[in-house]
């Protein structure tokens, strides 16, 4: 298996070298908005631990990511008056992974509204700021 590369985009976000629209952080995880969202509120949850994907993450670190994804899902339901949630997690290129730091996609869904194709439209900063504000408020409620 390929070794973890600490120069990946998400590692740089964790170190503060790249900006992110943070919605949640704790000792083990970091959650931020996808800048090319497939739907309003599309959030990525990552471990602070260096893990390429599910094949090399420690079970306890993965459990932290799953718990945070649950929090983000509940906040997304509230913040976007969603009808459901889609959670996705991809591993290795053949599995659809693009950034090689483990991450879960948490996407609030509306009945009858299709997801945008992956990486198809970069959202405007104002929209992402609004969505981050809504998510943070829902997490604090």
Quote the pTM value: 0.97
Both tokens assigned to 83: 């009808």
Residue 74 lies in a domain: yes
Per-residue confidence of the chain (141 residues) as pLDDT tens digits? 789 999 999 999 999 999 999 999 999 999 999 999 999 999 999 999 999 999 999 999 999 999 999 999 999 999 999 999 999 999 999 999 999 999 999 999 999 999 999 999 999 999 999 999 999 999 998
Q: Is residue 121 part of a domain?
A: yes
- What phi-psi label fits residue 17: left (phi over 0), alpha (psi between -120 and 50 degrees) or beta? alpha
Give the residue numbers marked as catalytic: 103
CATH classification of the domain holding 118? 3.30.428.10
Q: How many domains does the chain have?
A: 1
**Are 35 and 22 in contact, with CB atoms under 8 Å apart?**
no
Residue that is written with structure tokens 């929209």 in the block: 127
Tell me if 31 is assigned to some domain: yes
Ramachandran region, residue 115 (left: φ > 0; alpha: ψ -120 to 50; beta: rest): beta
Give the domain extent around 18.
Answer: 9-140
- Asked whether 33 and 21 are in contact (CB, 8 A), the reply is yes
pLDDT, tens digit (0-9, with 9 covering 90-100), for 80-98: 999 999 999 999 999 999 9
Residue 4 lies in a domain: no
């Amino acid at each position: 298996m390929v070794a973890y590369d600490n120069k990946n985009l998400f590692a740089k976000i964790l170190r503060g070298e790249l900006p992110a629209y943070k919605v949640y952080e704790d000792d083990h995880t970091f959650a931020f908005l996808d800048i090319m969202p497939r739907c309003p509120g599309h959030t990525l949850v990552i471990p602070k631990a260096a893990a390429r994907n599910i094949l090399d993450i420690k079970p306890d670190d993965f459990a932290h990511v799953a718990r945070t994804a649950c929090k983000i899902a509940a906040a997304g339901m509230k913040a976007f008056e969603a009808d459901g949630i889609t959670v996705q997690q991809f591993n290795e290129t053949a599995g659809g992974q693009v950034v090689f730091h483990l991450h879960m996609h948490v996407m609030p869904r509306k009945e009858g509204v299709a997801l945008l194709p992956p990486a198809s439209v970069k959202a405007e900063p104002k929209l992402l700021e609004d969505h981050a504000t809504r998510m943070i408020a829902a997490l604090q409620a």
